[in-house]
Amino acid sequence: MLDRYEASLRGLARKSRLRALSGRAGLDFASNDYLGLAGDKRLADAVATALANGTPVGATGSRLLRGNDPEHEALEQKAANFFGAERALFFGGGYVANFAVLTTLPQKGDLIVLDELIHASAHEGARAGRADVVEVRHNDAGAMDDAIKAWREKGGAGRPWVVTESLYSMDGDRAPLDELAAVADRHEAFLFVDEAHATGVYGPEGRGLAHHLEGRENVVVLHTCGKALGASGAIVTAPAVLCDYLVNRSRPFIYATAPSPLMAAASAAALDIVADEPERRDRLAKLVALASTKAEGLGFMPSGSQILPIVIGDNARVMSLAQALQARGFDVRGIRPPTVPEGTARLRISLTLNVGEDDVTALFAALSEECSR
């Protein structure tokens, strides 16, 4: 009965793609806690205060039943104001938020145009929805434009959806957001931007790379709370009518137990911190600049962001390097297909305020030694 599963796992092992869980150990060069907020006492205090005021640990039901807590609504109002949107809606995580938006808002007869390297959750949501779907070359606004034109020429009469990340999770590069917004405007399309890795880190007060686009009637944005904000959950910002539509039509929202209201309280506190402490972003930018210089010195192309891919190519070699660095006290993880394209297995170095400049220098010295073995 279990033979086919065991055979599949053996096949993954032969390709050096078998995965296993491992705990936290060593200096943090792997997490998405970019601003070092996950362990910040003020987030813990926000949770403690909410508990003292009678906020339950669990939501106990969906938001449409008894799971709607004042903390959820307070976060949504704060987020809408913070990001400059008409409304906001809180979800349990970025995966479910992407899935919810793309299975609900694009309608039958619409077209979803996906960047080929966008999050897996966007691919899953698009495939599970009712709209036509096409993938295009990474960060190519012209390819997005051409895909919509080709769809129209074949009789497509619905509404296009241009779907992108603002900062890509594995390459650390930025999307051409202004060009994509122009494509959306030209075709009377919606633009859906996943800001998962930009929220808190970029833009005025940490409002993200798409901050100047928020508030438009054709723009929907996803902000995760479990990365730079140090909590968990995700916030979708959009025109009020689209948020109301999600509340009424989105099965992942309607039929899921609501996120813990304590995470709403923590996320609200994190928004205040990122707005009030721009020095955190300044410190992170210095780490990025240092790491970029060190990577170039070893012959690797820097991304210019806190996500620095060290592309090796060979799966086994990547995992060997990761294990060697971990043994030396640096928590660096290897990333292999299908998370990244075939032949681009890499070390994903994530820069966070949980380390300092001396730690970055030591990491690249160790990487240089291990690469030369």
DSSP, residue by residue, 279-345: HHHHHHHHHHHHHHHHHHHTTPPP-SSSEEEEEEE-HHHHHHHHHHHHHTTEE-EEE-TTSS-TT-E
Q: Which of 227, 232, 267, 315 is catalytic?
A: 227
The 3-state DSSP class for residue 38 equals coil
197 is catalytic: yes
Would you call 119 a catalytic residue per the annotation? Answer: yes
Residue 201: HSE in the Cβ half-sphere, 13 Å Cα cutoff: 34
- Catalytic residue of the set 187, 197, 223, 294: 197
How many CB atoms lie under 10 A from the CB of residue 4?
A: 8
Nearest of 204, 259, 205 to residue 235 by alpha carbon? 259
Closest to 71 in 3D by CA, of 57, 84, 85, 83: 57
Annotated catalytic residue: which of 76, 165, 171, 331? Answer: 165
Name the active-site residue from 121, 166, 169, 315: 169
Catalytic residue list contains 305: no
Does residue 295 contact residue 368 with C-beta atoms inside 8 Å?
A: no
194 is annotated as an active-site residue: yes
Helix (H, G, I), strand (E, B) or coil at 216: coil
Q: Which of 110, 194, 195, 214 is catalytic?
A: 194
Provide the β-strand partners of residue 345. Answer: 313
Cα within 13 Å of Cα(220), Cβ side: 25
Count CA atoms closer than 13 A to 303's CA, side-chain side. 23
72, 78, 119, 223: which is the annotated catalytic residue?
119
Which two tokens mark 178? 């202004």
Gap between the Cα atoms of 25 and 21, Å rounded: 12
CA atoms within 13 A on the CB side of 240: 3
187 in active site: no
Residues acting as catalytic residues: 32, 119, 165, 169, 194, 197, 227
